A and B are shown apart, each in its own frame.
Chain A
Amino acid sequence: MNNDEPETGTSRRGFLRQTALAGAGLVAGTSAARAEGADPLITEVQPWATEFGDPVDAVPYGMPIRFEQHVVRRNVEWLTESPVSSINFTPIHALEGTITPQGCAFERHHSGAIELSKADYRLMINGLVERPLVFTFEDLLRFPRTSVTAFCECAANGGMEWGGAQLEGCQFTQGMIHNMEYVGVPLRVLLEEAGVKPEGKWLYAEGADASSNGRSMPMEKALDDVMLAFYANGEALRKEHGYPARLVVPGWEGNMWVKWVRRLGVYDRAVESREETSKYTDLMPDGRARKWTWVMDAKSVITSPSPQAPIRHGKGPLVITGLAWSGNGKITKVDVSMDGGRNWVEARITGEAKAKALTRFHLDIDWDGSELMLQSRATDETGYVQPTKDALRAIRGRNNVYHNNGIQTWWVRADGEVENVEIA
């Protein structure tokens, strides 16, 4: 038995060189790999098989193992003028399933992530209501609760790609998104406590932060499925996601998911605040702009292979995995093309396709080592089929800024490296 650390390390490295060669053999066409010699990771007793690991009280609240340290949020500095009114990106290239770990779920702030305790938290409901009210957080925990799993996609997700292929990796081109299981109170219940007057047609929600992020929504949506959420993926919201309370607005653009919510004002018309005039309005070719483009349309992306997830294992079995979602309901189908949209194969949905939530799809192929132009195309329950970028640009031009749900193309090269491209 040889447990001496340096020696074990040496022999392991030696073995790894051998496996790299075995990998090359795979590329040459061996499908069932055959050991070229006994694997010391099996034949030698490893330290973790004989010594103790960490005790249970080593880490009261754990972080991922260090080998996963590439699975983190990343930013792109040149996108914004200030890091407190900015964006970062979820590492969707490295995740599976549908639930986003909160610790690497993207952030978008307009004046930074504020620290607001439950003791200091206040929620006001005012305007066209019978009884303007103030709630403490303690009050809010006494209302009947509901839950929903929903994607929060920034309206600007993929916005940098309107004009062409710009960033390298789906974390950067599709990663302004997260998907969590929320628990909270329906706005309907809170509004009933105040008593909305018949002329109260619009709800204006604003945050406790300096930017306020005030947004108007029609009362029908507020009373339908909008939630004041306190829990996400089982625990309290993270500070950067609105602790202790945020709006969850299923299917609608992320900007309306107001964080650190402090006030719900009921009015007879839209406020037409900065975040729904200057921003989150979509310039069209005639120089006019769409406003109130609330819903996020059906969309998908192949998360692997992708530029940050190249193919290193050679020919043979290859898992194509990706995400699809729609603000207009459930995903019913995802098609995958390997030749840039000439021919399509239906992928399988793995797990449940929940309405207005991220949905996982897979397609398993036998890769022969040739170049691929990979695409995915989502269909939702309304029959809407995810369009190409060209189809969107034919209607909207190139200065829409927001709402880019165009089909993404990955060029898989023969060496297994993957690029973000446009094709025509």
Chain B
Amino acid sequence: APAMAERLGLGRAALPEEISAWDVAVLPDGQGLRPGSGDVATGEEVFAANCAMCHGEFAEGLDAWPVLAGGDGTLRDMRPVKTIGSYWPHLSTVYDYIHRSMPFGAAQTLSVDETYAITAFLLYSNGLVEEDFVLSDKNFTEIQLPNADGFYPDDRAESEYPLFSAAACMTDCLPEQKITKRAVELNVTPTDPDGKPAGTLPDLHAAAAVAPAS
């Protein structure tokens, strides 16, 4: 614990109902879960009403909106599909994030039971439970997501820093270099009216005469 310096006596005690209103975080071991439950069928209804317009009826994602299910086994592919089922480590994050921050544009409108139900439906959409599954605060931590062991803490101090901390070469370091990629060939940068990259510095030979009025 930090050394107890003199307290200034600023602030006031947080009331239990205030803490309950704002601390809705759920940790991987289930800390923060509140009593409640929801089944897949209910979750499907709530999802259809609140979520499917962006994420699709089956959580497969519409247009460019995030895909919530699928992509299993793609993490070593050229273009991995990272979803709750293929990538996310903890079910707690699903509950917590949806409850706090979804639907996009109308967050914090889902009840505890509705959030359990949507979470159950997303487990079902990802092929992880049967259609009669009921999720509750009691069985929540029994659910293990497929990629639970897929992460490790930052190891750059071992895997990169020693390699990149050698004295740098200053002369005759490499053979002659050739261009292998040019951004202009993709041509996906916003442009100014003259076709130059947007925000290109004005040409001072012409700028004074053509400086646009604001």
Contacts and interface: CB of A to CB of B under 8 A. Distances in A.
A115 interface: no
Given A283-B80, A308-B199, A132 B184 contact: no
B159 interface: yes
17 contacts: A16-B209, A66-B212, A77-B190, A91-B199, A124-B23, A142-B8, A143-B8, A194-B11, A212-B100, A265-B23, A278-B93, A290-B155, A291-B152, A308-B196, A309-B201, A341-B177, A423-B179
Nearest to B204: A312
Given A287-B76, A335-B168, A421-B182, A277 B89 contact: yes
A289 B104 contact: no
A226 to B, nearest CB: 13
B183 A192 contact: no
B90 A277 contact: yes
A357 B33 CA distance: 40
Which of A12, A82, A294 is packed against the most chain B CB atoms within 10 Å?
A82
Interface stretch (A30-38, A67-75, A240-248, A362-370): A67-75
Given A290-B154, A343-B170, A391-B163, 9 more contacts: A262-B22, A278-B87, A278-B97, A290-B151, A294-B154, A308-B198, A343-B171, A421-B182, A422-B181
Interface in A1-41: 9, 12-13, 16, 19-20, 23
Interface stretch (A49-57, A150-158, A160-168, A316-324): A160-168
Nearest to A401: B82
Contact of B153 (A9, A278, A285, A292): A292
Contacts of A69: 212, 214
Interface in B163-180: 163-166, 168-180
Contacts of A76: 188-190
A288 B164 contact: no
Interface residues of A, number: 121
Interface residues of B, number: 97
Contact of A272 (B1, B89, B199): B89
A24 to B, nearest CB: 10
B23 A423 contact: no
Interface of B: 1-2, 4-5, 7-8, 10-14, 18-19, 22-23, 25-29, 31, 63-66, 75-76, 80, 82, 84, 87-90, 92-93, 96-97, 100-101, 104-105, 107-108, 150-156, 159-161, 163-166, 168-184, 186, 188-190, 196-209, 211-214
A83 interface: no
Contacts of A383: 165
A19 B161 contact: no
A133 B11 contact: yes
Interface string A386-420: 11000100010001000000000001000000011
A210 B172 contact: no
A184 interface: no
B200 A167 contact: no
Given A70-B201, A267-B31, A308-B197, A395 B159 contact: yes
A200 B2 CA distance: 10
A26 to B, nearest CB: 11
Given A126-B23, A263-B23, A420-B183, A210 B156 contact: no
B13 A131 contact: yes
Which of B4, B26, B164 is packed against the most chain A CB atoms within 10 Å?
B164
A358 interface: no
Contacts of B65: 81
A271 B27 contact: yes
A211 B23 CA distance: 14
B200 A70 contact: yes
B156 A297 contact: yes
A70 to B, nearest CB: 5
A241 to B, nearest CB: 20
Interface in A261-286: 262-263, 265, 267, 269-274, 277-278, 281, 283, 285-286
Interface string A115-145: 0000000001111000111110001001100
A291 B153 contact: yes
B13 A283 contact: no
A142 B10 contact: yes
B10 A286 contact: no
A29 B161 CA distance: 46
Q: Which 4 A-B pairs have the closest CB atoms?
A: A340-B177, A287-B75, A210-B107, A422-B181
Contacts of A179: none
B96 A273 contact: yes
A281 B200 CA distance: 34
Contact of B27 (A94, A267, A423): A267
